[in-house]
Amino acid sequence: MTESPSDQHTGTRFTLLGPVELTVAGERIDLRAAKLRTVLALLLLSRGSLVPDSRIAEMLWGHAPPVTAEAQIQNYVSRLRKVLGEGCAITRRRPGYVLDVGPAQLDLVEFERIAAAGRQAAAAGRTAAAADLLARSLAVWTGPALAGVTDVLEAAAAPDLEERRLVVLEDRLAADIELGRHAELVAELTGLVSAHPLRERLRGQLMIVLDRTGRQAEALSSYHRHRRRMAADMGIDPGVELRRVYESILAAPAAEPPPGHRTAPRRAVPAQLPPDIADFTGRDAEVAELEALLRQPRSPVATVSGMAGVGKTALAVHVAHRCREHFPDGQCYLDLRGTSGPLDPAEALAVLLTGLGVPAREVPDGVDERLRLYRSRLAERRVLLVLDNAADERQVRPLLPGNAGCGVLVTGRTRLSALPGVPLLDLDVLPAVEGVRLLGRITGEQRVAADRAAAERIVRLCGGLPLAVRIAGARLVAKPHLRTAELATRLADQRRRLDELQLADLDVRASVALSYRGLAEPTRRAFRLLALLDRERFAVWTAAVVLDVPVGRARKLVEELVDARLLEVSGTDLPGQDKYGFHDLVRAVATELVAEEDLAVDRFAALHRAHTSTAYSPE
């Protein structure tokens, strides 16, 4: 076989099945711009085939590309060529571009190759080998496909990739069922059916493993719930294959539960808290305040709010562990996913009910019925609920227990001020002393003591943000040869700071971006353009000048950014008007976004207005 030029460049690796990433010689290249990742992903999805300029423009800007689209595409291609080098050439072939990469360099090709081998093994009757190969192919995925590209490309291409993954997953489950791994598949299939309720092959597989573990009634109940939903929502019956599974279960005698699976009925005592953080540091006043609130005799409810990365979840979990003995009937933890696809009340109640011991088949369909059952289950019990990452009051209000004995601790980025009578704890960044203590707990006290000035500088450059300090500490632990002073020097470079504050699944940039993505576009634009101001604090009238909007409109946009914890109120001016400012790391994210998402002409115009506002500022 003739080796392509790209095969010779074996040190280059591309990933599409998760975050779109490029690795060269073992080092991940940061493609921070979403549009740059989008161009690369488009070329990789059409590996070896021409991608027209018009297609690239559509995936970058939708159906309204700017007049400078061709020039911007050329710029993105030029930047990719620079990082790829000669081994992975992007060829201009009018009217578009071609990227030719070797099959060993792309995770999508690897996934499909291993999956094909697994299917061949299954067809040959080698079931154990098939199960292993199919599991290996799924392990190539590192997260949702095409993460980090534009919404347009994600909507156009990610569903197809996800469908391929689910088909392979169903094949792997079929092999595992054939191998008799029924009991260990129940939990996995229950979660998959909940996430993909209309995939009838998954539901059929769940019914099979339930039946073969002595739970025939649950298997039949799953079918009936699906049939009712199909009739109500679409006016159709389940498909032929699922009906066959149902009929085969009806025709067979009920299986005996496996040995060891017979349990006497008992009231469930949930213990769902995540592990406490071993190096939790500081927050003494906040811990004491929350403990006192939760230990009061009647209806203890408290909320903790604050910006991304400030440590809301860590504080809530730490306090919950300290108060466990006060809630002997259990502790429930639920991530409400407020910043990334919030759970609706029906979903949240279903999760809480199963945690309280209600079998999934007995969870009612309607929200009102779930709410009544939920409050009945909590009656006369002392349970602590930690509702993490709440979007707003509407999401939380239905989840509050109806009795006085249960405690609730809610966290969220926004201030949940519309919950009547609920104390609000607004969490700020760490004071310098506590930040240095946290760094020492992570890295070891001796390392901090060896160069305390550098440690203090690191905490200052992290803006006291616990997430950033934790990442900096983890970097020092991961690289024992890295001097504390050297890391401080890297963080001082504003062009590198956010890159340094990213390690494994800890990422300041991504955490702040979650708040940004939840905003309407006018508010996003305000966030980006206000970062062009070369002053730490500004008044509403200054924002109005920079954004080129009336003062009233500017005030609304600024307050929306404050509510999203992307701006801070930082004092008042002489007339007593509020002044606003960015946390340093939030400003760094906004600065990247304005360079990535706003045209140069718009940036220059906003900069001119910003300079004008500075020149004539009465502040």
- DSSP annotation string for 41-100: HHHHHTTTS-EEHHHHHHHHHTT---TTHHHHHHHHHHHHHHHH-TTSPEEEETTEEEE-
Q: Tell me whether strands 301-305 and 424-426 are parallel, antiparallel or unpaired.
A: parallel
Q: State whether 446 and 411 are in the same domain.
A: no
Q: pLDDT-based confidence at 456, cuts 50/70/90? A: very high
Question: Which of 179, 210, 239 delimits the end of a domain?
Answer: 179
Distance of CA 28 to the CA centre of its chain: 20
Q: State whether 169 and 61 are in the same domain.
A: yes
Q: State whether 137 and 207 are in the same domain.
A: no
Contact assessment for residue 318 and residue 280, using Cβ atoms and an 8 Å cutoff: yes
Question: Which of 256, 273, 296 delimits the end of a domain?
Answer: 256
**Helix axis angle, 484-492 relative to 452-461, nearest 10°?**
30
Q: 504: alpha, beta or left, given left = phi > 0 and alpha = psi -120 to 50?
A: left
Q: Which two structure tokens, joined as six digits, stand for 299?
A: 């209806």
Phi, psi of 532 (to 5 degrees): -75, -15
Q: Which two structure tokens, joined as six digits, stand for 260?
A: 């060891």
Q: State whether 440 and 325 are in the same domain.
A: no
Q: Which two structure tokens, joined as six digits, stand for 371?
A: 């709410």
For residues 80 and 74, give the distance between their C-alpha atoms in angstroms, rounded to a whole number: 10
For residues 244 and 208, give the distance between their C-alpha atoms in angstroms, rounded to a whole number: 11
Q: pLDDT-based confidence at 8, cuts 50/70/90? A: very low
Q: State whether 578 and 492 are in the same domain.
A: no
Please report which residue ranges of 213-272 form alpha helices under DSSP H.
216-234, 240-251
Contact assessment for residue 52 and residue 95, using Cβ atoms and an 8 Å cutoff: yes
pLDDT computed for residue 574 by the predictor: 65
Which distant-in-sequence residues (6+ apart) come within 8 Å of 270 by Cβ? Answer: 330, 331, 332, 355, 356, 357, 383
Average pLDDT over residues 245-250: 88
Is residue 568 in some structural domain?
A: yes
3-state secondary structure of 580: strand
Question: Which of 509, 535, 559 delimits the end of a domain?
Answer: 509
pLDDT computed for residue 613 by the predictor: 60
Q: Which two structure tokens, joined as six digits, stand for 302?
A: 């408290």
- Residue 134 burial by Cβ neighbours in a 10 Å radius (0-12, 13-18, 19+): buried
Is residue 277 in some structural domain?
A: no
Q: State whether 21 and 155 are in the same domain.
A: yes
Is residue 270 in some structural domain?
A: no
Average pLDDT over residues 524-549: 92
Does residue 565 or residue 571 have the better pLDDT?
565
How many domains, in total, are found in the chain?
5
For residues 36 and 24, give the distance between their C-alpha atoms in angstroms, rounded to a whole number: 16
Q: State whether 47 and 95 are in the same domain.
A: yes
3-state secondary structure of 384: strand
pLDDT computed for residue 432 by the predictor: 95
Would you say residue 385 has pLDDT above 50? Answer: yes
Is residue 580 in some structural domain?
A: yes
Q: State whether 410 and 548 are in the same domain.
A: no
Average pLDDT over residues 116-144: 93
Is residue 184 in some structural domain?
A: no
Bridge partners for 502 per DSSP:
507
For residues 81 and 83, give the distance between their C-alpha atoms in angstroms, rounded to a whole number: 6
Q: pLDDT-based confidence at 438, cuts 50/70/90? A: very high
Q: Which tens digit of pLDDT belongs to each residue from 256-276?
A: 555 544 443 445 678 888 888
Q: Which range marks the domain in which residue 599 is found?
A: 519-615
The CATH number covering residue 591 comes to 1.10.10.10
Distance of CA 348 to the CA centre of its chain: 17
Tell me which amino acid residue 258 is: P
For residues 498 and 573, give the distance between their C-alpha atoms in angstroms, rounded to a whole number: 31
Q: Which tens digit of pLDDT belongs to each residue from 299-336?
A: 689 999 999 999 999 999 999 999 988 999 999 999 99
Q: How far is CA 457 from CA 452, 484, 515, 589, 601, in A?
A: 9, 9, 27, 20, 37
Would you say residue 527 has pLDDT above 90? Answer: yes
Q: How far is CA 501 from CA 282, 314, 588, in A?
A: 21, 19, 12
Q: pLDDT-based confidence at 484, cuts 50/70/90? A: very high
* pTM listed for this prediction: 0.60
Would you say residue 16 has pLDDT above 90? Answer: yes
Q: Which of 24-28, 350-354, 363-367 has the lowest mean pLDDT?
A: 24-28
Q: How far is CA 264 from CA 236, 260, 268, 357, 381, in A?
A: 40, 11, 12, 13, 21
Q: State whether 2 and 133 are in the same domain.
A: yes
Q: pLDDT-based confidence at 87, cuts 50/70/90? A: low
Q: State whether 226 and 306 are in the same domain.
A: no
Is residue 117 in some structural domain?
A: yes
Q: State whether 209 and 252 are in the same domain.
A: yes
pLDDT computed for residue 258 by the predictor: 54
User: CA torsion angle for 521, 527, 529, 532 (degrees, to 10)?
Assistant: -160
Q: pLDDT-based confidence at 508, cuts 50/70/90? A: very high
Average pLDDT over residues 589-607: 87
Is residue 346 in some structural domain?
A: yes
Q: pLDDT-based confidence at 614, cuts 50/70/90? A: low
pLDDT computed for residue 618 by the predictor: 47
Would you say residue 150 has pLDDT above 70? Answer: yes
Contact assessment for residue 238 and residue 200, using Cβ atoms and an 8 Å cutoff: yes
Would you say residue 17 has pLDDT above 90? Answer: yes
User: CA torsion angle for 471, 475, 476, 480 (degrees, to 10)?
Assistant: 160
Average pLDDT over residues 65-83: 91
Kindly report whether the peptide bond that precedes residue 95 is cis, defined as omega within 30 degrees of 0: yes
Average pLDDT over residues 188-217: 90
Element (H, E) at 616: none
Alpha carbons within 13 angstroms on the beta-carbon side of residue 527 total 31
Is residue 272 in some structural domain?
A: no
Would you say residue 239 has pLDDT above 80? Answer: yes
pLDDT computed for residue 268 by the predictor: 62
Q: State whether 196 and 135 are in the same domain.
A: no
3-state secondary structure of 197: coil
Provide the mean pLDDT of the chain.
88
Q: Tell me whether strands 568-572 and 578-581 are parallel, antiparallel or unpaired.
A: antiparallel
The CATH number covering residue 244 comes to 1.25.40.10
The CATH number covering residue 359 comes to 3.40.50.300
